[in-house]
Amino acid sequence: MSSFSSLLPTAARGLISSCRSPLRPASMAPIVSSFQQARAASKGGRKKMMDKSKGSKPAKKGPKEFIQRDLKNIDRWALCDAMRYIRAIEVGREPTNVKYEIHVRLRTKRDGPVIRNMLRFPNPVSTESRICVICPPGSKAEQDAIAAGAVLVGEQVVFDAVKAGKIEFDRCIAHPDSMEAFNKAGLGRILGPRGLMPSAKMGTVVEDVAGRVDMLRGGTTYRERDAVIRLPIGQLGFSPEQLRDNLRHTLEQIKKDCANLNDRIYKDIYEVVLSSTNGPGFSLNGDFKTELSVDPAALQGN
């Protein structure tokens, strides 16, 4: 009996064993035999599943695109109305610290390239960061860096200032030629924990020092994550016109980014949400104001 059943697939074996003739003397305790049966059946089941997966396509992984719901049914706001609410919710906070943010939802596939870029606003959002440049004194890079607006430029000057504990800059860039001197100076202990160490990986060790300084000073980087681009676009004290200009500039740039992608990849702006540091998100309908809106001049300052 056993040799015969071993030739059959396991599933069939389970089947047979379950309809054995009652004449056959029970050799095992009833609990154990039923346990074995159950195991055989489950084993057969698993094998069946594996066969199926081998033959046909692999299991479905879910939708290829991010879900796009119909935005007709949701509340959407004009810019001024959304600003009025946000300003009410953020009342009493420092108008330069609190930022308006936008979340741009894209119509896109789940895989494929993402948008990543840098932009400069017509009205700068953050106060310009102070930049330190480490480069050989007297070189062309030094002159360029100063011309581009770096605060602290040089080699030994910078090292001395840092060692004395005077770190009066927010970003640090180095020229490859002075990396040797920089490594000798051993400033890793001071600059490392502050995140100011220049490294090629972060793009802060570059030949074109001036260009990088220019970019770091007033630019904002943004990237798409899970089909959403999030970036701050204004301080709370901004007037609706200032915010509108920044918004328009940003959306134009994102549209350009979408168009610049590969031909086969299609991306498109689907929803724009205005939010703030502590506030909720208001989906914008593209209007500047409605007839019920307050005077836009009232929506600025504190």
Partner 1 sequence: MVNLFKRMRKLKTILNVRVGEGAAILPAAASATKEFPAITRLHLTYARKMYNGHQGARHFWRNCLPRLKYYNPAIPMTVRQTDDQEGPAALTVYFAQQASKTAGLLATAELKDTHAPAPADNETAAALDVRGLGYSEIWTKVKKLTGAEEVPATAEELAELKELERLRAKAVEDRARIAALRQAKKDQERMLQEARGELEKMRQS
**Chain contacts with partner 1 (rule: CB under 8 A):** 31-32, 35, 69, 74-75, 84-85, 87-89, 91-93, 103, 105, 226-228, 273, 280-283, 294-295, 297-299, 301-302
For residues 80 and 84, what is the distance between their CA atoms, to the nearest angstrom?
Answer: 6
| Nearer of residues 86 and 216 to partner 1, judged by Cβ | 86
| Nearer of residues 75 and 180 to partner 1, judged by Cβ | 75
In the complex, the smallest distance separating the C-beta of residue 19 from partner 1, rounded to whole angstroms, is: 25
| Nearer of residues 146 and 298 to partner 1, judged by Cβ | 298
112-129 burial, b for 16+ CB within 10 Å, e for fewer? eebbebebebeeebeeee
DSSP of 108-170, one letter per residue? -BSSS---EEEEE-SS-SSPPPPEEEE--TTSHHHHHHHHHT-SEEESHHHHHHHHTT----S
In the complex, the smallest distance separating the C-beta of residue 74 from partner 1, rounded to whole angstroms, is: 6
The token pair that represents 84 in the structure block = 């009025």
| Nearer of residues 34 and 156 to partner 1, judged by Cβ | 34
| Nearer of residues 81 and 214 to partner 1, judged by Cβ | 81
| Nearer of residues 12 and 28 to partner 1, judged by Cβ | 28
Please, which residues bridge with residue 283 across strands?
273
Burial (Cβ within 10 Å: 0-12, 13-18, ≥19) of residue 41: middle
| Nearer of residues 112 and 301 to partner 1, judged by Cβ | 301
| Nearer of residues 136 and 281 to partner 1, judged by Cβ | 281
For residues 166 and 187, what is the distance between their CA atoms, to the nearest angstrom?
Answer: 13
In the complex, the smallest distance separating the C-beta of residue 85 from partner 1, rounded to whole angstroms, is: 6
For residues 189 and 163, what is the distance between their CA atoms, to the nearest angstrom?
Answer: 10
Residue pointed to by tokens 């676009």? 233
